[in-house]
Structure 1
Amino acid sequence: MKLTRRTFLGSSIALTIATAFGLSGCSKKPETLQETEGTGVEVQKLAEGQWKASGCLGCTSWCAKQVYMVDGRAIKIQGHPDSKVHGANDCPRAHLAVQQVYDADRIKQPMKRTNPKKGKNEDPGFVPISWDEAMELFADKIMELRNNDETHKFGLFRGRYTNINDLFYGNLPKIIGSPNNISHSSICAEAEKFGPYYTQGYWNYRDYDVRNTKYIICWGVDPLCSNRQVSHYLNVFGELLEKGVKIATIDPKHSATAAKSHVWMPVKPGQDGALATAMAHVILTEGLWSREFVGEFKDGENHFVAGNTVDEDNFEENHTYGITKWWNLELKDRTPEWAEAICGVDAATIRKVATDFANAAPQALVFMGGGSNMQVRGGYNSMAVHALNGLVGSAEHEGGTITGRSPKLNGFTKPDDFMDEMAQKNTKMQKIDQRGYKEFPALKDGKSGGGVVTNRVADAILAEDPYLPKVMIGYFCNFNYSCTETERWNKAMEKIEFFAHCVTHYSEMGHFADLLLPSTHHMFEQMSAAAQKGNGFTHLWIAERLIEPFYDVKNPESEIPWMLAEKLEEKGFGNLMDYLKTFKDPETDKEPTNGLELELHAFKIRTQPIWDPAEYAETGNNGTKYNSWDEFIQAGIWNSDAYEFKKLWSNMPTETGKFEFYSETLKKALAGHAEKHNTDIDDILATCKYDVVGERAFIPHYEEPYMVGTESEYPFAFIDSKSRLTREGRAANCSWFQEFKDVDAGDVKWGDCIKMNPEDAAKLGLQDGELVKVTSPTGEMTTTLKTWVALRPGTVQKNFGQGHWAMGHVAAEDFEGRVARGANSNDMIPSEFERLSGSTAYYGSFRVRIEKA
């Protein structure tokens, strides 16, 4: 049987079974109904079943879940009630996973490309093959690299993952002999991590002690919609409002969180730095900084007076460093009146929010998301916004922002002993994302090239700089859809000689694959585990395989490496198999004999400090105590003890050990990168498209945003937003996603739109509901116009999630014809970067024009 792209997903048998399960999105009324007493509402009665522990990787909330199982089928999902992070609370996205796992459009068996030409308009001519044949082809390609001493031209792309990802993502490329394991991280949040790292030494997501706070500023983030721990915040925000907690939202659009806030500050896109430095100015001039955390003038007088410099020796700091330098170099002139004309928020509101926030401190917090910093010049915005937490003493304080902590887990055997001479040599080659290049410092953890520059890979492939990769594999990723200027990725993937894609669904990236390797669904068909923080706790959830895989699918992090290792061993390269055999069962000391045993052993090894009393006594994991693996896997969750506040005061992993308003940590990192390229810091910053020179480079400061497109030619700043139902782009083939798309205020069911303030629409003579053409300096799209009063004039806003021309028959308008349902914003967002962190710039970075289609 030969299947082309047009037919390989159209399994009528699978569709029949999915329909029988009631999971196909049809509107058939269930036969067994019961009426909820006194409401007149009919609800379906659940069949007799059992709740089983699982977890969700649909976003970075990484919530613990329970799945209701009936006769081996997954029926319903809820939050795990034993999680101290979110309890039984849930978010809407998790429920779409049931449709995903039983989707008739899933890839059902390995598929091989038969058309050697690659391109969006080429039919790959996929035909079904066996796993044995697929692994034979893949192993042959790797052996060609080894035979030609070109192992560095192998690469692995990673999207979402479980906590055994080091087995595949971390160590497999090294054993083969490549430096190229490329994570998705910098299209996710690296600029958001930049500010907290270069003020308090923490490169990660923060936790926010909202239950004990009195004032929250949600800055460039929508916790009720799309950020981490949505399940928790959806539940707790009601409590906060009842208790009288004040909430301010800073966002150019009136978000779901703004609708629940006392103050909405519609900042101009990109101008967050002006607003943040003005708020810091108010806090200091009004004498509202934290004396306990920051310190005080030695004479007891407040010398922070607008326009005046202060004597740095007259201020004695406690747990911070550089407050007077920050004032003298930046803040003294950043009045609310100065900011009003720049950021579009009136001076009186700036002053009131800053004052109310500081008066509520230290039980007050700034909840920061990507909107304020995933901009071309967003690194210093990130520092300025987060510095407000330090200024009022809420960093690491009850009711403030806290770093949280990760559970102490075992690592895996290091790959060094399994890397031959070729691997040792070639893993030292430059990574293909150009991290560490002069124009891409990517200063994660203070190191030049320490981070990842995911979106730069497409440009590097096209330029063959530092070289052209030949053999690649990716899992849980779709960069041809989720990265900006998507056409670059299409052209780049055309150039890759051999690409294998491990995914549940055919996708825009998979269209360029030579092998499609059908993946297990993380929530139901494979063992999974992940840890996340929230509510002052950290949980780690773990899940067994809950259902027998519906199709011929494999776990990309365990089963696929095992099968590949078998083939490589047959061809004379046994290093990978030798490595995998070190994954011995901690209880029996037996080596794995297949991929499923490798999966089990890896999770047991990784989590042993959680379930083995001898191990957790050594590592100091404080929290839930288990006495065996069986006890842990049955419960499915571990919780830490409550967070210890103030523990990091004057004990922060910065150069000074303090919270740095003048960042010696950034100064050292920039100096190291400049020295590496035989230049100075000013030159590095100019190369990275920043204007700053001199000492201001080491403090949070305002820079005029770098916007692609002039205001005269492109009048509207573009706002890219996240949908309440988008599981990071993997939800669009669910009918529930399409049917309930209008939960995003102003959006439409089964379609797509761009929103504009009615005042702007009237000036252009545009009507609500008509088709418009949206043009940026790098692309264009056609979509429906929706007038939306809850949007700052001079801006347009569109939700991410539609625009798939692949993924399946629901996601695409015409799947066989590669016609997208709606438009993908990334098709027209310019490929720009916040280069100090490596982050892709999605926000506050470009303009568009709108006209009738």
Structure 2
Amino acid sequence: MKIKRRDFLKLTAMAGAAVAVNGYAQSEPEMNSLAPLGADRTSSPEIGEWKPTTCQGCTTWCPAEVFVQEGRAVKVRGNRYSKQNDGTVCPRGHLSLQQVYDPDRIKQPMKRTNPEKGRGVDPKFVPISWDEALNTIADKMMALREAEEPEKFCLMRGRYTYLRDIIYDVMPKVFGSPNNISHSSTCAEAEKFGAFYTEGYWDYRDYDISNSKYILIWGCDPVASNRMVPATIRRLGDALDRATVATVDPRLTTSAAKANEWLPLQPGTDGALALGIAHVLLSSGAWNKEFVGDFADGTNLFKVGATVDEASFIEKETNGVVRWWNLAVKDMTAAKAAEICGIPEDQIVRVAKGLGEAAPNVAVWMGPGAAMQARGAYSAMAVHALGGLLGSIDNEGGSLQTAKIPVNKLNADLLGKHQDELAKKHSKLEKIDQRGRLELPVIAKGKSGGGVSTNNAAKGILNKDPNEIKVLVGYMNNFPFSCNGTDLWEEALSSVPFTVHLTTNASEFTVFADIVLPCTVNMYERYGFVKTKANRYATCTLLQPVVKPFWDVIDDESAFPFLISEKLKDRGFSNLYDCLVEMYSDPETGAKATTPEEFTLFALKYYTHPLWDGKKDTHGDKINGWSEMLEKGMWNSGAYKYKSHWGGKFATTTKKFEFYSETLKKALAGHAEKHNVDVDTVMEKSNYTARGELAFVPHYEPPLRHGSEQEYPFVFIDYKSRLNREGRSQNSPWYYEFKHVDPGDVGHQDSLRIHPTDAKKLGISNGDKVKITSMGGSGECVARVWEGVRPGTVSKAYGQGHWAYGRTATDDFMKSATKGVNNNTIIPWELERLSGSNARNGGHAAVRIEKI
């Protein structure tokens, strides 16, 4: 992000004013990274040190470095050794400084003294010692063991490092609970669904835009979010000089503003547009024959409305292209797609022909906007199938999987060794999110109930189904703010008898907690590691404590389970302690941990050991020992090899790229058999319209709308700001100061973008206060009259509207007064049931707008 001199002067003036008002310069100068060093000192690099760590402001997870002077973090950049982000970071990395030095951080353990729970209810927290806090938690957990109901313990995970295994897997399973609930389905599980049931890859993709001749960005803004931000910022300008860029999104994103084509489709109609493009590619003969194959006699039989004999086509790397045509594509002409999605027919044809001409060097970049919909699984498949038609899957300039990152895994045998009979039995009971039920297949990776449905956990908790949750531990999460249907989460959390929140800052989740434990800030104060990829390289990158924690805080994923294991051992249950110290001994010395600090370090060394012990070829950076790993802070793989999965190596049922998904057919049939029904019944219960063979191919599903067009005439569009650090930057003054970096947004306000034609009809002018209402809830924000949003839709950045956070994010914490409105209050509760995902896009959130 380039900052103009005028903006920089405003920023420094604002920081100085904050110091003057709050007195930090006099009382706590070390808490302000911008505070002057003193008259006899300088900020020159000679008296500082760059220390490696990792930015977790989004799931790009960039290797980073922090410049530290006299114990203070003062500047951020990318890790100089990184091939993933070229040694750069985006604005999120710089915003992190205001998180570690946030004066509103939780500074010591606290306990609730008001038994009443609910929004607007003062918990009346009082400070307590660590010993009291841990003893209280251990007593509550032991009560469950003694009552032989350990399944009533629940661990809820938000963002994580890969030390997550300790708190997320080992602790609940050894204790005896099945209820480890991840936040993953709030992110992009429906997006992964599209890739898995076509190419057998359940993960985010890498995109080789350095070699693309056509980049089709669909439902995301890669320079702002979607998992390879710095690499894209660096490359998009060059790509525009060499390639055609088209963007499919109802709002004018940064990428769309730079693109050659903007396709502002009607929300939720992504599947129709994708099939319309596929129809043009097939009927014009523009599919990639090296990957897909061709008709036996070379004559193109893909004609409008015509059924084609499957035997007439000889496929190479794919399965079922003709059957897909017959079932879903043959009648979806560009003209029909145009009627459904609101994009001109000639533009659909032009984009399709451009893609065909550029193939196979085409990146069809699928984001959550195309998938995180109530019926988004098939939209995701349809968009990803275009890459298959173009031969760009696993190919130069296209979408790629990832190189292997050879780290150690959780030792499942050791875990099982330390489970007693109660734990073995109860850890296999049904989970609180009800995944795998008839109406909620969650067929992640081909298995019924194989994924997670985070947002459905609220219903499970509230209804005590399949069991009551009596002890709930959450870390790095804030589900009553980050999941749509916020009122349901507030009610559910109010019903839990005992809740623990491990967090850096008080938030909406914290308000429902009985014990609050202060934690380290990722990137600055803790150890951990993450695995990521971008720009053809996979990386393992470390988080390290580059500064000493200011408060008496702990690492949530490692120190907390170790400390609890000690308390449980004192009470006669030593299984967890024994498991942890045996599983995570120091790989260099064999030493067993005696403190939480030792335990954390040993665990980190255990997982990353293969990368730095020098015994095996890691097919990447050669690192000689643990000290060098700490010094560099990361490991790079070799460059990903194109066509790694061609030749029958895709992880699908047919080992090929599947237009007709035998993999999905098998998964749906397995789920149906589990419940003694047929697949059509599964589709009906999952809110899908497809019946028969259509359920096994990418196809168009009409949007599922909450609210009539007459009462709620507009469609609400949620998007992620390039300044959102996983939704945790709203207490940072810089977030509001520089909010104008998002197209159409305005600093220091919660902006609702509305098209001028719609604003005129409603008598709304730019800057007017407006009320937005859906079937889920309502709130107030400020109108931003702007051409960069499709008529009939309104858009707003996720993140504002906190009713419980810090002094910057919340208008009045004690009164639950907000600055703006939370998008997830507006978006009604809903799920994408095949994947378990939150449904936050795709037009199901219908709203009305009223001038206040």
Q: What is residue 7 of structure 2 aligned with on the other side?
A: none
Structure 2 SS opposite 1:120: coil
Within 1, Cα distance between the matches of 2:524 and 2:835?
35
Does 1:191 pair with 2:170? no
Q: What is residue 590 of structure 2 aligned with on the other side?
A: 589
> How far is 1:815 from its partner?
2.4
Q: Deviations over 1:593-650 (max 9, x none)?
A: 1101111110111001100122x34xxx210011211111111110000111112012
Structure 1 SS opposite 2:137: helix
Q: What is residue 602 of structure 2 aligned with on the other side?
A: 601
Within 2, Cα distance between the matches of 1:438 and 1:166?
29
> How far is 1:33 from its partner?
12
Structure 1 SS opposite 2:598: helix
Does 1:60 pair with 2:69? no
Q: Match for 2:510: what amino acid? A: G
Within 2, Cα distance between the matches of 1:473 and 1:840?
21
Q: What is residue 626 of structure 2 aligned with on the other side?
A: 629
Q: What is residue 139 of structure 1 aligned with on the other side?
A: 138
Q: What is residue 229 of structure 1 aligned with on the other side?
A: 228
Q: What is residue 23 of structure 1 aligned with on the other side?
A: 32
Of 681-690 and 232-241, the range deviating more from structure 2: 232-241
Structure 1 SS opposite 2:814: coil
Q: Given that residues 24 and 32 in structure 2 are in contact (C-alpha distance below 8 angstroms), is that contact kept between their aligned partners in structure 1?
A: no
Does 1:723 pair with 2:718? no
Within 2, Cα distance between the matches of 1:600 and 1:52?
17
Within 2, Cα distance between the matches of 1:75 and 1:329?
59
Within 2, Cα distance between the matches of 1:18 and 1:58?
30
Within 2, Cα distance between the matches of 1:786 and 1:494?
36
> How far is 1:340 from its partner?
0.9
Within 2, Cα distance between the matches of 1:406 and 1:489?
38
> How far is 1:155 from its partner?
0.6
Structure 2 SS opposite 1:573: coil
Q: Given that residues 318 and 659 in structure 2 are in contact (C-alpha distance below 8 angstroms), is that contact kept between their aligned partners in structure 1?
A: yes
> How far is 1:436 from its partner?
0.3
> How far is 1:231 from its partner?
1.2
Structure 2 SS opposite 1:353: helix
Structure 2 residue corresponding to 1:804, chosen from 802, 811, 831:
802
Q: Given that residues 732 and 802 in structure 1 are in contact (C-alpha distance below 8 angstroms), is that contact kept between their aligned partners in structure 2?
A: yes
Structure 2 SS opposite 1:738: helix
Cα gap change, 1:590/1:819 in structure 2, threshold over 3 Å: closer, same or farther?
same
Within 2, Cα distance between the matches of 1:839 and 1:70?
44
Q: What is residue 678 of structure 1 aligned with on the other side?
A: 676
Cα gap change, 1:223/1:83 in structure 2, threshold over 3 Å: closer, same or farther?
same
Q: What is residue 708 of structure 1 aligned with on the other side?
A: 706
Q: Given that residues 18 and 104 in structure 1 are in contact (C-alpha distance below 8 angstroms), is that contact kept between their aligned partners in structure 2?
A: no
Q: Given that residues 53 and 64 in structure 2 are in contact (C-alpha distance below 8 angstroms), is that contact kept between their aligned partners in structure 1?
A: yes
Q: What is residue 487 of structure 1 aligned with on the other side?
A: 487
Q: Given that residues 506 and 806 in structure 2 are in contact (C-alpha distance below 8 angstroms), is that contact kept between their aligned partners in structure 1?
A: yes
Q: What is residue 507 of structure 1 aligned with on the other side?
A: 507
> How far is 1:17 from its partner?
7.2
Q: Deviations over 1:82-104 (max 9, x none)?
A: 11111222100111111111111
Q: Given that residues 252 and 743 in structure 2 are in contact (C-alpha distance below 8 angstroms), is that contact kept between their aligned partners in structure 1?
A: no
Structure 2 SS opposite 1:782: strand
Structure 2 residue corresponding to 1:271, chosen from 249, 269, 272:
269
Q: What is residue 534 of structure 1 aligned with on the other side?
A: 534
Q: Given that residues 47 and 70 in structure 1 are in contact (C-alpha distance below 8 angstroms), is that contact kept between their aligned partners in structure 2?
A: no
Within 1, Cα distance between the matches of 2:30 and 2:167?
34
Q: Given that residues 173 and 423 in structure 2 are in contact (C-alpha distance below 8 angstroms), is that contact kept between their aligned partners in structure 1?
A: yes
Q: Given that residues 584 and 592 in structure 1 are in contact (C-alpha distance below 8 angstroms), is that contact kept between their aligned partners in structure 2?
A: yes
What is the TM-score when the length of structure 2 is the normalising length? 0.95
> How far is 1:189 from its partner?
0.3
> How far is 1:24 from its partner?
7.3
Does 1:525 pair with 2:525? yes
Structure 2 SS opposite 1:542: strand
Q: Given that residues 432 and 465 in structure 1 are in contact (C-alpha distance below 8 angstroms), is that contact kept between their aligned partners in structure 2?
A: yes
Q: Give runs of aligned pairs for residues 84-123 of structure 1, distance below 5 A.
A: 84-123=83-122
Task: Give runs of ≥4 in structure 1 deviating > 6 Å.
Answer: 28-34
Q: Given that residues 440 and 688 in structure 1 are in contact (C-alpha distance below 8 angstroms), is that contact kept between their aligned partners in structure 2?
A: yes
What is the TM-score when the length of structure 1 is the normalising length? 0.95
Does 1:463 pair with 2:463? yes
Structure 2 residue corresponding to 1:319, chosen from 317, 324, 345:
317
Cα gap change, 1:303/1:790 in structure 2, threshold over 3 Å: closer, same or farther?
same
Cα gap change, 1:30/1:327 in structure 2, threshold over 3 Å: closer, same or farther?
farther
Q: What is residue 765 of structure 1 aligned with on the other side?
A: 763
Q: Which runs of 5+ in 1 are unaligned?
A: 1-9, 35-43
Q: Given that residues 215 and 360 in structure 1 are in contact (C-alpha distance below 8 angstroms), is that contact kept between their aligned partners in structure 2?
A: yes
Q: Deviations over 1:305-354 (max 9, x none)?
A: 11111111010000100010011111111111111111000000000101
Within 1, Cα distance between the matches of 2:511 and 2:371?
32
Structure 1 SS opposite 2:247: strand
Q: Match for 2:400: what amino acid? A: I
Within 2, Cα distance between the matches of 1:366 and 1:30?
53
> How far is 1:702 from its partner?
0.9
Q: Deviations over 1:506-559 (max 9, x none)?
A: 000011000110010111111121111100111111133221110110001111
Q: Given that residues 111 and 127 in structure 2 are in contact (C-alpha distance below 8 angstroms), is that contact kept between their aligned partners in structure 1?
A: yes
Q: What is residue 573 of structure 1 aligned with on the other side?
A: 573
Q: Match for 1:505: what amino acid? A: N
Q: What is residue 364 of structure 2 aligned with on the other side?
A: 366
> How far is 1:18 from its partner?
8.4
Q: Given that residues 33 and 72 in structure 2 are in contact (C-alpha distance below 8 angstroms), is that contact kept between their aligned partners in structure 1?
A: no
Q: Match for 2:446: what amino acid? A: G
Within 2, Cα distance between the matches of 1:465 and 1:219?
38
> How far is 1:779 from its partner?
1.0
Q: Match for 2:496: what amino acid? A: I
Q: Given that residues 518 and 553 in structure 2 are in contact (C-alpha distance below 8 angstroms), is that contact kept between their aligned partners in structure 1?
A: yes
Q: Deviations over 1:259-298 (max 9, x none)?
A: 1111000000001011000000000011011111000100
Identity of aligned residues (%): 48
> How far is 1:762 from its partner?
0.5
Cα gap change, 1:641/1:17 in structure 2, threshold over 3 Å: closer, same or farther?
farther
Q: What is residue 827 of structure 2 aligned with on the other side?
A: 829
Q: Match for 2:743: what amino acid? A: A
Q: What is residue 284 of structure 2 aligned with on the other side?
A: 286
Within 1, Cα distance between the matches of 2:560 and 2:86?
34
Q: Given that residues 529 and 541 in structure 1 are in contact (C-alpha distance below 8 angstroms), is that contact kept between their aligned partners in structure 2?
A: yes
> How far is 1:14 from its partner?
9.7
Q: Which runs of 5+ in 2 are unaligned?
A: 1-18
> How far is 1:465 from its partner?
1.1
Q: Match for 1:309: what amino acid? A: T
Structure 1 SS opposite 2:499: strand
Cα gap change, 1:33/1:315 in structure 2, threshold over 3 Å: closer, same or farther?
farther
Give the count of matched residue pairs: 828
Q: Given that residues 25 and 735 in structure 1 are in contact (C-alpha distance below 8 angstroms), is that contact kept between their aligned partners in structure 2?
A: no
Structure 2 residue corresponding to 1:386, chosen from 374, 384, 387:
384
Within 1, Cα distance between the matches of 2:28 and 2:576?
42
Within 2, Cα distance between the matches of 1:460 and 1:412?
28
Q: Given that residues 153 and 468 in structure 1 are in contact (C-alpha distance below 8 angstroms), is that contact kept between their aligned partners in structure 2?
A: yes
Within 2, Cα distance between the matches of 1:707 and 1:502?
37
Q: Give runs of aligned pairs for residues 284-433 of structure 1, distance below 5 A.
A: 284-414=282-412, 415-433=415-433
Within 2, Cα distance between the matches of 1:388 and 1:637?
35
Structure 1 residue corresponding to 2:641, chosen from 625, 639, 644:
644
Q: Match for 2:76: what amino acid? A: I
Cα gap change, 1:57/1:740 in structure 2, threshold over 3 Å: closer, same or farther?
same
Of 479-488 and 773-782, the range deviating more from structure 2: 773-782
Within 1, Cα distance between the matches of 2:373 and 2:494?
29
Within 1, Cα distance between the matches of 2:173 and 2:362?
45
Cα gap change, 1:406/1:492 in structure 2, threshold over 3 Å: closer, same or farther?
farther
Q: Give runs of aligned pairs for residues 541-560 of structure 1, distance below 5 A.
A: 541-560=541-560
Within 1, Cα distance between the matches of 2:284 and 2:452?
41
Q: Match for 2:677: what amino acid? A: T
Q: Given that residues 15 and 104 in structure 1 are in contact (C-alpha distance below 8 angstroms), is that contact kept between their aligned partners in structure 2?
A: no
Within 1, Cα distance between the matches of 2:771 and 2:347?
36
Within 2, Cα distance between the matches of 1:140 and 1:198?
45
Q: What is residue 696 of structure 2 aligned with on the other side?
A: 698
